Amino acid sequence: MPLSAPLHKLLCVCHIVSFFGYQKKVCHLLCLHNVRYNVDSQKFGFGHQVLIYFVYFWSLLCLLFYFLFLDGFVIDRGSLYIYILPCLYYIHLKKSLLRTLNEMARVHRELQSTMGTLFCVSVKRAFCCSLLICIELLLVIYWQIESLKNDIQRWTVFTCLLGWHLQLLLLVNSYIWLHSIYVVMNQVLTAELRIQQRWKMLRIVLKEHSRLAKIQRDVSHFFSVYISSVVLLISVIFYRSVILEAGIEWELSRLVLLRLETWQIRYLAYIILLIGTFLMVVWDYKSIRDTFLRGLWKTQEICLRTWDSRNTQRCKQTQDIVDMMILTGNAPRDMVCTKLVLWELRIKEATIFTLETAFFMNYFLLLMITVCLIPIVAISNGFEIGFEEKLLNYTYCSKYSEGSEAMNLTIENLTLGTYTLSHALG
């Protein structure tokens, strides 16, 4: 049952769920999704809203118009393909997301009704991360729209970018919720309870632990395309500046190693900040989950349950924690501290390929080290870094057929700043 207001602690799990509810209301107000929660049935379902369907249809028309007719663009249009792929993938997996959300709601209700006042535990760190990711997303979306110098590009790109970034918000919220639930379940191991009461709660908690493991794998499967697009986006921004933009400028008689424009630097910094926050949330979830699993083996009094005295002396024994975990549906890999699967590819229900969190973090750190080392090594070998500014004023003219009029796209007073790492050849 829900707790009364005086029993709520400061920034508890209930407040986290309420904050998610406010985000959902804002998304409904902006017509960003049509998933609704039915209080009577206590399940998520699809709400048929004509306005939302109209916004989806309008976004599709804008994207088609943008890709077919606007060949003159300022900021790289190729990155939009990375945004569109996850959006199409999520439309295909809407029912999968609905099942996962309903399973999360069921686990939340059962733990809340079982643990009572123990369910209300302070999760200040999770609440701060949830607020931080919202602020970061708003700043990134604002900068991306503001950096487009043409109103047509702003309107056509806005809905696609907003949908792409909201997937990150849902991904982070999923891990924040998982982290908060494990903080709640740790109360069974640390709170002062009678042995029989602790044993009864632990059976239910371990049953929910097996469901939480499945929910986390479903989340990693659902957002696998998104995480792949993030890795690809970060890699393309950096390696294109180092490899594709490098070369010999014969007119200036210099060898260019790195050409990185200011908007690319800012964009790369924003994406790194977002992914860094996401990795911090994932690491918090893994740490609190491992703490829960380690606490199962270290708390000896949990296992102090004997058979009824009417049984023979041979049957008088302590039930092992492993027996209880197996009886509650936990797989052997869920009984010890295991690595966390962040990316999982499935075909139907069969798992084809998985990547662990360590792989993504190692790649992320390796890329950051490379970003720092390339300029340092180049400058130590005689390369010089300089800043160049270009003022662009041009009109793009396109004619589609003999009978149609030409379409003009004018860009005025656009300044592109570029950091160039080069070495004089002469």
Q: What does the block give as tokens for 9?
A: 């602690």
- What would the mean pLDDT of 23-50 be, rounded to a whole number? 83
| Helices 262-298 and 124-147, packing angle to 10 deg | 160
* Amino acid making up residue 144: Q
- Give the max Cα distance, the chain: 99
The confidence score (pLDDT) of residue 284 equals: 93
pLDDT at residue 61 greater than cutoff 90: no
Determine the Cα–Cα distance for residues 290 and 123; give it in Å rounded to an integer.
17
pLDDT at residue 183 greater than cutoff 50: yes
pLDDT at residue 56 greater than cutoff 80: no
pLDDT at residue 211 greater than cutoff 80: yes
Determine the Cα–Cα distance for residues 94 and 44; give it in Å rounded to an integer.
12
Domain residue spans in the chain? 5-424
**What number of other Cβ atoms are within 10 A of residue 44's Cβ?**
19
The 10s digit of each residue's pLDDT in 354-385 is 888 888 888 888 888 887 888 888 888 888 88
pLDDT at residue 135 greater than cutoff 60: yes
* Amino acid making up residue 308: D
Question: Measuring CA to CA, how many Å separate 350 from each of 13, 221, 331, 345?
Answer: 34, 11, 17, 9
pLDDT at residue 285 greater than cutoff 90: yes
| 349: nearest Cα among 223, 167, 214 | 214
Please provide the DSSP assignment of 161-192 as one string.
HHHHHHHHHHHHHHHHHHHHHHHHHTHHHHS-
Per-residue pLDDT band at 300 (split at 50, 70, 90): low
Q: Is 133 within 8 Å of 170 (Cβ atoms)?
A: no
Question: Measuring CA to CA, how many Å separate 271 from each of 93, 100, 133, 137, 343?
Answer: 25, 27, 12, 10, 19
Backbone angles phi, psi at 197, to 5 degrees: -65, -40
Q: What does the block give as tokens for 323?
A: 């027996």
Name residues whose C-beta falls within 8 Å of residue 91's C-beta, 6 or more positions apart in sequence.
none
Q: Please name the residue that has the structure tokens 């991360």.
A: 129
Model confidence, pTM:
0.84
Collapsing DSSP to helix, strand or coil, 306 comes out as coil
The confidence score (pLDDT) of residue 412 equals: 61
Determine the Cα–Cα distance for residues 242 and 239; give it in Å rounded to an integer.
5
CA angle 29, 34, 36 (to 5 degrees): 90
Per-residue pLDDT band at 185 (split at 50, 70, 90): very high
- What would the mean pLDDT of 128-153 be, rounded to a whole number? 82
Backbone angles phi, psi at 246, to 5 degrees: -80, 160
pLDDT at residue 3 greater than cutoff 50: no
The confidence score (pLDDT) of residue 403 equals: 53
Ranking 57-71, 258-272, 325-339 by mean pLDDT, the lowest is: 57-71
Q: What does the block give as tokens for 219?
A: 């989340």
**What number of other Cβ atoms are within 10 A of residue 393's Cβ?**
9
| 309: nearest Cα among 297, 320, 317 | 317
- What would the mean pLDDT of 188-215 be, rounded to a whole number? 86
The confidence score (pLDDT) of residue 79 equals: 66
Q: Please name the residue that has the structure tokens 């790194």.
A: 272
| 203: nearest Cα among 334, 324, 288 | 324
Q: Please name the residue that has the structure tokens 């602690």.
A: 9
Determine the Cα–Cα distance for residues 66 and 409; give it in Å rounded to an integer.
12
The 10s digit of each residue's pLDDT in 227-253 is 888 888 878 777 777 766 666 666 667
Residues facing 407 on adjacent strands: 398
Determine the Cα–Cα distance for residues 206 and 185; give it in Å rounded to an integer.
9
The confidence score (pLDDT) of residue 1 equals: 36
Question: Measuring CA to CA, how many Å separate 105 from each of 41, 61, 66, 123?
Answer: 11, 35, 39, 18
Most confident of 112-126, 192-206, 207-221: 207-221
Determine the Cα–Cα distance for residues 351 and 221; give it in Å rounded to an integer.
9
- What would the mean pLDDT of 333-360 be, rounded to a whole number? 82
Backbone angles phi, psi at 292, to 5 degrees: -65, -45
pLDDT at residue 85 greater than cutoff 60: yes
- Give 3-state DSSP helix, strand, coil % of the chain, rounded to 5: 65, 15, 20
